[in-house]
Amino acid sequence: MDSEKVKFYERKYERNPVEDAIKDISNKWTLHILRNLFLGKTHFNEFKENRKTLDNKSLSRCLKTMEKNKLIYKHSRDDEITYHLTEKGHSLNKVFYELLLFALNNDKNNEHYTETAKKELKEMYLEILDLK
């Protein structure tokens, strides 16, 4: 693309929609909570399972931000609070899967995952993200 065209697009679209989208999921715990929601977890304490460094204050702040960004909604019934994906939150399923593929494809020396584990993860994520 020539430099004049680039300058035109930069002026016309000062806001970067990709940057705006990333801001919605950039909190340290957001992807962890999203994964849990896709797995069917809905309760505050379930989001803390296996995350020793996730304290109540941080989790509460993250959930409020996710609500504000319209990724989740909070449901209260009979003194029980649950969290659920909104349509916007659920639409991140394809993005989530692409991030998984990016991570696995860039694990070139199998530093973190064996080929078998990569295959299992891809299959699992297809299922939990409802992409099959």
Residue-level pLDDT, tens digit, the chain, 132 residues: 778 776 777 776 677 788 888 888 989 999 999 999 999 999 999 999 989 899 999 999 999 999 999 999 999 999 999 999 999 999 999 999 999 999 999 987 778 898 899 999 999 999 999 987
Which pair of structure tokens corresponds to residue 79? 């003194």
The residue behind tokens 């020539």 is 2
pTM for the whole thing?
Answer: 0.83
Residue 74, strand partner residues: 83
Q: Rounded to an integer, what distance in angstroms lies between the CA atom of residue 32 and that of residue 20?
A: 20
